[in-house]
Structure 1
Amino acid sequence: MDPRPDPDMSNCSIARTLEVVGGKWTILILCEVWYGSSRFSDFERVLGCSRNLLAARLRMLVKEGILATETSRKPGSRSRPKYEITPKGVDLVPAVMGLLRWGDRCRADPEGPAGLSRHRGWGVHVDAQIRCARGRAVQAEDIESVPVPAFRMGLAE
């Protein structure tokens, strides 16, 4: 039996990304941050996930540099962490918008999507698109993947 070459997935950027943000609750926490939530109690109330799961996801997002904490204190209460998106977290917006676009088209409630994404300044619809370095929209069938020096090959078993 001749061994055939297979890509070695240990260097796959998608797999590495999903290790960090691949869980449902992680993506929903990020969405809530973009919608304006910043406190543990906000996330807990809106998302309804267990406290220990929420705490673990928030710790991981901070450890990965996707969220940062700042201590804040409301008058008459103890100080608490406030979660804020970092530039590394903002880089995830196109990926999450792509998931939202797909969900709105393929998995929406029969009554339609739960919300719309609009440009805050102009009030017009925002959509996720893939563009090439020249600024032109690219369709999925026009994308090709080419190996680069970091590409690794393994042997199929």
Structure 2
Amino acid sequence: VKVGDSIEIVRFFHCYKRGVDRVFVDHPMFLEKVWGKTGSKIYGPKAGKDYLDNELRFSLLCQAALEAPRVLNLNCSKYFSGPYGENVLFIANDWHTALIPCYLKSMYQSRGIYLNAKVAFCIHNIAYQGRFAFSDFPLLNLPDEFRGSFDFIDG
């Protein structure tokens, strides 16, 4: 996955439960700052203060989510086998995954991949919109058409 100028390798963990594939993405960028269950916050060192690399961390998550159905042998049902292919629904929850539709359109559908894929975008808390400095936009590796306001939720 390309994050800023570097290529990052992610690991996927998968389980199949009650007819649903559940995929978890692992990378040191997600947890290197978070110790224990309450030792520090996921989004910042304390409430109201974000980590300076949140846009990179959640960009990585979004891109990894889009790659998972392409590289994992999902759908462990006894009636089906193999990857899902094009027929995928991505559920993006809040600003953290709001770049999924942007990456889907610019990196995949523009190249004829995931043409049938859909995204359901759910907003849990409209107060948090994932706002970042315009100067950080190039780190996301998105076309300028998405530069609008650089709120992840505007994706």
Give the TM-score normalised by the residue count of structure 1: 0.30
**Greater relative CO (CA pairs within 8 A, separation 6+):** 1
When you count strand as a share of all residues, which structure comes out higher?
Answer: 2
When you count helix as a share of all residues, which structure comes out higher?
Answer: 1
Give the TM-score normalised by the residue count of structure 2: 0.30
CA radius of gyration, larger in: 1
